Amino acid sequence: MDLLKAMAVFVRIVETGSLTAAAQASDLSPTMVGNYLQALESRLGTVLVHRTTRKQKVSAFGHAYYARCVEVLGLVDDTERLALDHLQQPRGRLRVTAPVVFTNECLIPALPDYYRRYPEIKLDIVATDSLADLFDEGFEAAIRIGAFAGADVVARPLAPYRLVLCASPAYVAEHGAPTTPHTLGEHQCLTYAYPPRSAWHAAQSRWMLEGPDGPMSVAVDGRLKTDSADALRRAALSGLGIAMLPSMLIRDDIREQRLIEILPDFAAPERSMTLLYLQETRKSPKLRSFTEFVADRFGAETTDRA
């Protein structure tokens, strides 16, 4: 006999006033309800409900036993909810990947708040600008430059970021600042050599700018190319030339005048950012904790990244 089921049936008998009503409420046949009651009485060795052909009456012991059954069944429900809450609590290790600059300048500074909310999550973050095969390599979520689409992938847009032309005061003092985009070709331009399989894999030989008269493409060259935005920043700080860098990376340098914005009326196009994860894993509590946090902190409606 399923003791908990029998106790639940007995509670229904007491609360509905008859075996027939209890059967209807429990979606059981009257015979099955009677069998549960009889089995329970046999187990206890006493009568719970006095039954005649015309009426049924709960015994004195039955009333006392009913109160204990309600208490026990309530504890069982509470225990099951506790187990469910445990399963729903985000926990475990999550493997994610994101661009290097975004990881360093945005994601890492936000982690103290994330860990305060989700103390049982452990993150493995791979910072890379390469467009690896995200999910075949074991990543559960990815933040990538550009827009993506796929039937099996959830793609949530994040706030785009700006690129800024900049140089050090020392470079400007020695070489002057370009007065138009086309005079950039007369300067040392520090360019980014994108890694293989990245979304922007070609090395920069032209910079795209948008000015008062619309978009334009400007040929640039220089003595230094590197696949590291931080290296380009350090090269610009050292006076080696003009660089086009993410605003999130150089905002403090611009504010402290360690770098000067060049051609401020000519902006590089914004680059979109996308949060990616598989459709089949979207309900995972640990994944949802990360994706909702990132979307809330860096979503398309936010403006605090620049």
**Strand, helix or coil at 288?**
helix
**Strand, helix or coil at 76?**
helix
Nearest to 259 by CA among 273, 238, 274, 279: 238
> Would you state the pLDDT for residue 53?
73
Q: Look at the alpha carbons of 290, 293, 297, 298 in this order and tell me if their dihedral is positive or negative.
A: positive
CA atoms within 13 A on the CB side of 296: 9
- Cα–Cα distance, 8 to 242 (Å, whole number): 77
Range of the domain at 146: 92-161+271-298
Q: Which two tokens stand for residue 232?
A: 């380009």
Angle between helices 3-16 and 19-26 (to 10 degrees): 120
Residue 24 counted as domain residue = yes
CATH number where 287 lies: 3.40.190.10
> Would you state the pLDDT for residue 206?
84
Q: Measured at the alpha carbon of residue 62, what is the angle toward residues 56 and 66, in degrees to the nearest 5?
A: 110
- Cα–Cα distance, 80 to 159 (Å, whole number): 41
Q: How many domains does the chain have?
A: 3
Q: Identify whether residues 155 and 276 lie together within a single domain.
A: yes
CATH number where 78 lies: 1.10.10.10
Q: Identify whether residues 118 and 80 lie together within a single domain.
A: no
> Would you state the pLDDT for residue 170?
97
- For the chain, what is the total number of helices (H) and then of strands (E)? 10, 14
**Strand, helix or coil at 56?**
strand
Q: Are 263 and 167 in contact (CB under 8 A)?
A: no
Residue 246 counted as domain residue = yes
Q: What residues contact residue 33 under an 8 Å CB cut-off, 6+ apart?
A: 9, 12, 13, 19, 22, 23, 26
- Cα–Cα distance, 200 to 289 (Å, whole number): 30
Residue 250 counted as domain residue = yes
Nearest to 165 by CA among 209, 230, 215, 99: 209
> To which H or E segment does residue 219 belong?
strand 214-219
CATH number where 231 lies: 3.40.190.290
Residuewise pLDDT in 10s, the chain (306 residues): 788 899 999 899 888 988 889 888 888 898 998 898 899 889 989 998 988 777 888 899 989 999 999 999 998 888 787 766 666 788 889 999 999 999 999 999 999 999 999 999 999 999 988 766 666 778 899 998 877 767 788 889 999 888 899 999 999 999 999 999 999 999 999 998 865 555 554 456 788 898 888 889 899 999 999 888 899 999 999 999 999 999 989 999 999 999 999 999 998 878 888 999 887 776 788 899 999 999 999 987 665 555
- Cα–Cα distance, 1 to 5 (Å, whole number): 8
- Which residue, 47, 70, 87, sits at the end of a domain? 87
Q: Give the other-Cβ count within 10 Å of 247's Cβ.
A: 18
> Strand 242-246 vs strand 189-192: parallel, antiparallel, or unpaired?
parallel
Q: Identify whether residues 137 and 285 lie together within a single domain.
A: yes
Residue 306 counted as domain residue = no
Q: Identify whether residues 152 and 181 lie together within a single domain.
A: no
